[in-house]
Each structure stands twice: as structure tokens, then as C-alpha cells.
Amino acid sequence: MMPAFPGSRAPLIRAPVALVAVLAAVLVTLPACGSTSTGGSRPADRGLTGVVRRPPLEVGAVRLPDVSSEGAGSLMAMRARPGGLLVVYFGFTHCPDVCPTTLSDLGRALDRLEPSQRRRVRVAFVTVDPERDSARVMHAYLRHFVQGGHALRTEDPAQLTAAREAFRVTATRITYPGQDPAAYGFEHSAATYVVDAAGRVILEWPFGTRPSDMEADLRALLQRVG
């Protein structure tokens, strides 16, 4: 279970008066969070923008080939290093709108972290389209948005399906009438997942989460796992 998250910003507050004011603001804000989602999840802990699922998804057993230069084809497990975080996104490089938006926003969020924090966050981009996303394309595409990311690609459908199911990711291939069948797309879930060292998804960002919110969540979570 997620520990409560009190006082994460306390070191910034010197005067007791300020502390009381912050606590009051938090109390007022909490009920406003409401419930925006279906069963099995609830609003994030105080201070987090993303969604916390309870119980958390266990994804640590998932291993996928890392085709980026960082991995050279070795299997990468879906768990962070101790004291760090792993951010995982499923997408495809032919995606013109949703995927580049998310990767770009994630890259901007990561760029705002101090180098000591940035080093504790690994990023994995999993293609749901290994047919068109070669290792070379994957690597170049990811690097364009996120420095030092891991491009994960498997040609084994069962391995990809197992990975998707662990994260509850959907990806349905779509072709468009009257168009080249090779120009297919996907209907796909578009959340971004933050995984801890135990292989648990501790936070999910829906599509459209702002870079500043991702940044704040990463800072808070790094403090929690550090």
C-alpha cells in the first residue's frame, strides 16, 4: 500500500503559521478531488496529479528486449532501480498526435528535474507496432523526445500481449476504408505508467497530463522512494 505522504514539502516551510495555512488549503482541496474514474482506482494521493490504482498493478515480472543502444537487445524488467522510478509508455512511431505529444511532454518534464533526480528516472517506450517500428526507428524516435530512454520491442506476439495485459494496455489495430492497408493505425490506451523498484505501478498519467504536473509528481515520488 501507498504510504501516506505527509510533510513532503515541510522543509520549505519555516513559520508554523505558514504550515497551518498549507494544511488548511490541503483540507479544502481534498474533497474537491472527487472521483473521476471507474472502479478499482481512486484519486491520487494529495499532491499527485496522476491516478493511483488500488491495488497497484504488478508488472515487475514483465521483461522485454531493449533494442536501444543502452540495452543492446538485453531483456529489461519493468521495475525501477532501487531508489528510482521507471516511466513506461506504450505507443507506435506512426502515431502523429497522441504518442509524440506524450513523449514530448514527458521529455520536457524530465528536463526540468535536477541532474541528480533525472538520473534516478528511467524511461521505457514499448512499441505496440513491431511490424513497422524497427529497432533503428524506435531508438531514433524515442531519443528525439527523451534522452537516454529505453526502446522496448519484441516480435513475439505472446510476449507483447503479456506485457500489455500486465499494464492493462489496449491496442487495437485499425485500417481505414479506401486507404492503403499498410497505413493502419491503432486505437490505444494512452496512459503513462510510473513503476517503482518492486515492479508496482504507483502512478498513471492519463493522456494530456501537463509537463509541469508530471514534473511535480516525479519530484514527489522520488522523494518517497529515495
Partner 1 sequence: MPCTSRISTRRHLAALAPVLAALVLVAGACGSDSGSGEASGGGEGPIRVTDVWARTSPMEATNGAVYARIRNTSDRPDALVGASVPSSVSARVELHETVMTDAGDGDTTDEGMGGDTHGSGGTDDTMGDGMGGDTHGSGGMRMRPVDRIPVPAGGVRLLKPGDYHIMLIDLAGELKVGDTFPVTLRFERAGTLKVTAEVRR
- Rounded to whole angstroms, the Cα distance separating 180 from 158 reads 27
Amino acid at 213: D
**Member of 36, 74, 212, 223 binding partner 1 (CB under 8 A):** 36
According to the binding rule CB under 8 A, does residue 149 interact with partner 1? no
DSSP state of 93: T
What lies within 8 Å, CB to CB, of 179 at 6+ separation is none
CB 98 within 8 A of CB 206: no
According to the binding rule CB under 8 A, does residue 150 interact with partner 1? no
**Member of 9, 46, 108, 112 binding partner 1 (CB under 8 A):** 108
Closest CB 191 distance from partner 1, rounded Å: 4
What lies within 8 Å, CB to CB, of 113 at 6+ separation is 121, 215, 218, 219
Nearer to partner 1, 11 or 157 (CB): 157
Binding piece for partner 1, criterion CB under 8 A, among 4-12, 19-27, 79-87, 201-209? 201-209
Nearer to partner 1, 60 or 145 (CB): 145
Nearer to partner 1, 120 or 169 (CB): 169
Indicate the helix (H) or strand (E) that contains 219.
helix 211-225
CA atoms in the 13 A half-sphere facing the CB of 51: 22
**Member of 19, 143, 216, 225 binding partner 1 (CB under 8 A):** 143
CB 225 within 8 A of CB 81: no
- # of chain residues touching partner 1 (CB under 8 A): 53
Q: What's the sign of the alpha-carbon dihedral 105, 106, 110, 111?
A: negative
Binding piece for partner 1, criterion CB under 8 A, among 13-21, 76-84, 117-125, 205-213? 205-213
Q: Which residue has cell 504510504? A: 3
According to the binding rule CB under 8 A, does residue 112 interact with partner 1? no
Query: Which x/- pattern, by CB under 8 A, does the window 207-226 give for partner 1?
Result: xx------------------
Closest CB 209 distance from partner 1, rounded Å: 10
Q: How many C-beta atoms lie closer than 10 Å to residue 88's C-beta?
A: 25
Q: Would you tell me which residues interact with partner 1 (CB under 8 A)?
A: 36-41, 51, 53, 93-98, 100-101, 104, 107-108, 128, 132, 136-137, 140-141, 143-144, 161, 164-165, 168-178, 181, 183, 185, 187-191, 204, 206-208
